[in-house]
């Protein structure tokens, strides 16, 4: 039986490597299906990564590994200086920011209340746990995400873009070194998408030590802050590194199996696809 060790948050100077996957493989026990195979990847503080690939490529599995929500079948995963299998993952999860559309949020809770729950990592608020400083921090984070006017608005009546920003503010309550964004632009209209992209760009500029990983299907959703990209295909890494080297037509075609024309304009990545290769 593997023993767990108390979780200690690394000092900022020692936390240069935020997440590291080495020789990671994931297989489904019931069928033997290979989900990930021989994945090597390192994310450092201050880096902003895009994680791209077709449906079923393994993106969500990678995010779940780094978010300490599952363990690899083979290989090692280290997050914030701690190896999965030798640390209490519940404590580790508490210091990782995660934003996902699958998160359960009470629809009648106000924006401020939703953000507050990030301090306790709970769905429902634990009012006795929130002192005045914690409540004020929730207001500050809503302002940082440019949505302070949502403090008293029920979450259920907020737009998709507003909900995404509230959830990001919630994730930041733990003051994480790592923020995981699982398709944060899903089902957003164009204005909401652009507002969220602007908010993420400002967040990156204002928090130079924060590392982020954004899972998306569309290059147009990447903020100018994104400096690195990893391409997955069928559970294997196709390419990883600086965006200028990875987000090329040739590499995107190899990843998605069809011609893709990629360009860069003012820090953004317009892309269009041709017919699928035979």
pLDDT value of position 12: 43
pLDDT value of position 32: 77
Q: Alpha-carbon distance 56 to 163, whole Å?
A: 26
Lowest mean pLDDT among 1-15, 32-46, 113-127, 218-232: 1-15
pLDDT value of position 110: 97
Percent of the chain whose pLDDT exceeds 90: 74
Q: Alpha-carbon distance 248 to 257, whole Å?
A: 13
pLDDT in tens, 76-101: 999 999 999 999 998 899 899 999 87
Q: Which residue carries 């921090």 as its tokens?
A: 137
CATH number (domain holding residue 39): 3.40.50.300
CB of 215 closer than 8 Å to CB of 59:
yes
Please report whether residue 167 resides in a domain. yes
Higher pLDDT, 267 or 151: 151
Give 9's pLDDT tier (boundaries 50, 70, 90): very low
For the segment 10-27, the average pLDDT, to the nearest whole number, is: 78
Tell me which of 146, 175, 204 is where a domain ends.
175
State the pTM of this model: 0.89
Give 11's pLDDT tier (boundaries 50, 70, 90): very low
What 3-state class would DSSP assign to 117? Answer: helix
Say which DSSP state 236 is in: E
Query: Are residues 22 and 158 located together in one domain of the fold?
Result: no
Please report whether residue 235 resides in a domain. yes
Tell me which of 175, 196, 212 is where a domain ends.
175
Number of domains present in the structure of the chain: 2
Full domain range(s) for residue 142:
97-175
For the segment 120-128, the average pLDDT, to the nearest whole number, is: 91
CB atoms within 10 A of CB 274: 11
Say which DSSP state 183 is in: S
Tell me which of 158, 175, 192 is where a domain ends.
175
pLDDT value of position 218: 86
Please report whether residue 9 resides in a domain. no
For the segment 216-236, the average pLDDT, to the nearest whole number, is: 94
pLDDT in tens, 101-119: 778 899 999 999 999 999 9
CB of 212 closer than 8 Å to CB of 196:
no
């Amino acid at each position: 039986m593997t023993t767990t060790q108390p979780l200690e948050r690394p000092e900022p100077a020692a936390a240069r490597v935020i997440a590291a996957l080495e020789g990671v493989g994931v297989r489904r026990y019931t069928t033997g299906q290979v989900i990930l195979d021989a994945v090597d990847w390192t994310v450092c503080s201050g880096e902003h990564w895009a994680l791209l690939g077709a449906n079923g490529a393994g993106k969500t599995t990678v995010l779940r590994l780094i978010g300490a929500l599952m363990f690899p079948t083979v290989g090692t995963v280290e997050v914030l200086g701690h190896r999965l299998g030798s640390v209490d993952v519940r404590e580790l999860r508490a210091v990782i920011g995660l934003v996902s559309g699958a998160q359960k949020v009470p629809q009648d809770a106000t924006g401020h209340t939703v953000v507050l729950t990030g301090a306790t990592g709970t769905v429902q608020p634990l009012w006795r746990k929130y002192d005045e400083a914690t409540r004020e921090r929730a207001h500050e984070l809503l302002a940082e995400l440019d949505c302070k006017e949502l403090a008293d608005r029920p979450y259920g009546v907020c737009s998709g873009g507003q909900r995404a920003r509230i959830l990001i503010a919630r994730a930041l309550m733990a003051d994480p070194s790592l923020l995981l964004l699982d398709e944060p632009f899903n089902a957003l209209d164009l204005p909401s998408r652009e507002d969220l992209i602007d908010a993420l760009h400002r967040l990156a500029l204002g928090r130079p030590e924060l590392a982020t990983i954004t899972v998306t299907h569309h290059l147009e959703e990447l903020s100018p802050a994104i400096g690195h990209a990893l391409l997955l295909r069928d559970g294997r890494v196709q390419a990883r590194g600086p965006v200028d080297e990875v987000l090329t037509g040739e590499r995107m075609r190899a990843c998605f199996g069809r011609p893709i024309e990629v360009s860069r304009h003012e820090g953004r990545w317009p892309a269009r696809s041709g017919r699928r290769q035979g």
